[in-house]
Amino acid sequence: MAAMELGSEFYTFVLVGFLAQLVDGALGMAFGVISTSALVALGVPPAAASAGVHAVETVTTAVSGTSHAVARNVDWKLFRRIAIPGVLGAVLGAYLLTSIPADKAKPLIQAYLGVLGIWIFWRGFRHIHVEREPKVVEPLGLAGGFLDAAGGGGWGPIVTSNLLVQGKTPRKTIGTVNAAEFLVTLSAAATFIYHLGWEVVTTATLGLLAGGVIAAPFGAIVAKRLKPDVLMILVGIVLMITSSVGIWRYFN
């Protein structure tokens, strides 16, 4: 497709994709939520929006995960524990979204994430984060994968926030969640495309892809260089904002 045929919408989504992936790569969340919200706001049906974003994320998460691995931000043991159930959850969630409307639980999930955001922010602000290995992991992967596919975003907020609350090192949590997200999004995207076809790939999704790929390496660098308390504070802020926006969108 020639550049002059893309129009201003394409370049708008390049910017959206860049900013969304920069936040996602640095804090372990928000690409799906930001990108899906932007597509739905333009009138794209939720299933098609989620499908398009997951198709984009198969590339951006591959670049982001590789960047985190190079920066040594990945805990490979934790990676295996969240990736396998995450793939299963993503396939189930994608199938559900293409078959049955599943919006009723969204405000409860968003409220839960908002409370976690406040807690994580407070712990970072007060410097009281105690590092320890998380005990509840596999159920997080399953829930995160399912909600990510069914809700158009949620892998990062669910998995990253809960691992941080359990005491996992912020840098390792963010890097590992980003790396595992590649397998989760690949599974969801394949399921969506099987049910909906390649029509989910549009000018908007191509713009998100271009911006996301450009930003992906920078997120890993930011995550490695920021202090743990700063990462905790930023994660808390992003969770509070995205949960508030999600609740507002549901009721309006």
Q: What is the pTM of this model?
A: 0.75
pLDDT of residue 88: 92
Among residues 190, 158, 206, 212, which one has the least CA distance to residue 16? 212
When comparing pLDDT for 170 and 7, which is higher? 170
pLDDT tens-digit map of 193-242: 777 777 767 777 888 889 989 998 888 888 888 887 888 888 888 888 87
How is the chain classified by DSSP, letter by letter?
--HHHHHHHHHHHHHHHHHHHHHHHHHS--HHHHHHHHHHHTT--HHHHHHHHHHHHHHHHHHHHHHHHHTT---HHHHHHHHHHHHHHHHHHHHHHHHS---TTHHHHHHHHHHHHHHHHHHHHTT-------S--HHHHHHHHHHHHHHT--HIIIIIHHHHHHT--HHHHHHHHHHHHHHHHHHHHHHHHHHH-GGG--HHHHHHHHHHHHHHHHHHHHHHHS-HHHHHHHHHHHHHHHHHHHHHHHH-
Token pair belonging to 140: 């997080």
Band the pLDDT of 82: cuts 50, 70, 90: very high
Band the pLDDT of 2: cuts 50, 70, 90: very low
Range picked from 8-12, 97-101, 104-108 for highest mean pLDDT: 8-12
Task: Name the average pLDDT for the chain.
Answer: 81
The percent of residues above 90 in pLDDT, for the chain, comes to 15
When comparing pLDDT for 109 and 160, which is higher? 160
pLDDT of residue 77: 93
pLDDT of residue 102: 52
Residue 176 has pLDDT above 90, yes or no: yes
Across residues 82-92, what is the average pLDDT?
91
Among residues 170, 176, 169, 177, which one has the least CA distance to residue 132? 169
Give the Cα separation of 149 and 158 in Å (integer): 12
pLDDT of residue 80: 93
Band the pLDDT of 247: cuts 50, 70, 90: confident
Band the pLDDT of 127: cuts 50, 70, 90: confident
Give the Cα separation of 34 and 241 in Å (integer): 11
pLDDT of residue 6: 59
Across residues 140-160, what is the average pLDDT?
81
Token pair belonging to 168: 């996992």
Give the Cα separation of 130 and 115 in Å (integer): 19
